């Protein structure tokens, strides 16, 4: 339901990797650009009970051309359906890893502090009584799924760090190394 462009990926920086939000019409399957993160989160939080349709956007119908096409011209990531909306005052922050293997999810507090886990969130809420009505379970740190068919070739051929770690080096009796694994090396 959302995606980010490969041109803006800057790991471990303050800017989120997501630059455009989109929702797919349940009827015609066309993608519609959603103009704000808040509107996107509203749609995502209820998608199972209130599917998205083109006519939810003012002046748009299924007969209109798609706002954007799913293609490898951008790297797409898909959120899990029905994730809760980010509580007011907080911001959900997604940062792509440099190898495009996944995104890391953070929440930025109203005070500007970046929290990386539910445990950090629980500690923050406990220390800040003015958020008494909130619970750490109101924040979902589940990252969106990176759609591998849209990852730039330079990254998909090289593989992620976890793939490279699976390559086993074994020593022969003549002290040369054999590489085992299905990876192509240049």
pLDDT at 110 over 80: yes
What average pLDDT does range 105-131 have in this prediction?
Answer: 95
- For residue 14, the model assigns a pLDDT of 52
User: What is the chain's mean pLDDT, rounded?
Assistant: 81
Q: For 154, list phi and psi in degrees, rounded to 5.
A: -55, -30
Query: Over the stretch 21-39, which tens digit does the pLDDT of each residue have?
Result: 999 999 999 999 999 999 9
Least confident residue range of 1-10, 31-40, 54-63: 1-10
Pairing status of strand 177-180 against strand 2-4: unpaired
Higher pLDDT, 177 or 119: 119
Section 164-186 average pLDDT: 38
Cβ atoms of 1 and 79 closer than 8 Å: yes
Q: Is the dihedral of CA 70, 151, 46, 15 positive or negative?
A: negative
Neighbours of 87 (CB within 10 A): 16
User: Which residue ranges form the domains of the chain, and what is each CATH number?
Assistant: 2-153 (3.30.890.10)
Per DSSP, helices labelled H in 6-104 are 37-45
The residue-averaged pLDDT of 137-151 equals 93
Is the Cβ–Cβ distance between 17 and 4 less than 8 Å?
Answer: yes
Q: How far apart are CA 32 and CA 14, in angstroms?
A: 27
Helices marked H in 74-186 — which ranges?
A: 118-127, 153-158, 161-165
Confidence of residue 159 (pLDDT cuts 50, 70, 90): very low
Q: Which two tokens stand for residue 60?
A: 């748009």
DSSP letter string over 23-75?
Answer: EE-TTT--EEEES-HHHHHHHHHTTTTS---GGGSTT--TTSPPSB--STTSE
Q: Which of 14-18, 54-58, 63-67, 125-129 has the lowest mean pLDDT?
A: 14-18
Distance CA 62, CA 95 (A): 33
The pLDDT value given to residue 153: 81
Among left, alpha and beta (phi > 0; psi -120 to 50; other), residue 96 is beta
Look at residue 65 and tell me whether its pLDDT is greater than 80: yes
């Amino acid at each position: 339901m959302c995606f980010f462009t490969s041109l803006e990926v800057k790991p471990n920086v303050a800017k989120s990797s997501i630059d455009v939000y989109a929702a797919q019409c349940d009827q015609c399957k066309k993608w519609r650009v959603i103009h704000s993160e808040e509107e996107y989160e509203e749609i995502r939080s209820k998608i199972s009970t209130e599917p998205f349709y083109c006519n939810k956007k003012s002046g748009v119908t299924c007969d209109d051309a798609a706002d954007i096409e799913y293609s490898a011209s951008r790297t797409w990531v898909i959120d899990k359906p029905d994730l809760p909306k980010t509580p007011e005052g907080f911001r959900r922050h997604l940062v792509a890893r440099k190898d495009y293997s996944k995104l890391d999810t953070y929440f930025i507090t109203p005070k500007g502090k970046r929290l990386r886990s539910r445990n950090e969130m629980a500690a923050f809420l406990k220390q800040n009584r003015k958020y008494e009505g909130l619970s750490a379970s109101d924040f979902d740190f589940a990252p969106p799924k990176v759609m591998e068919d849209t990852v730039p070739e330079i990254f998909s051929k090289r593989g992620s760090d976890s793939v490279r770690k699976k390559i086993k080096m074994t020593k022969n009796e003549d002290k040369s190394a054999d590489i085992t694994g299905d990876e192509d090396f240049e």
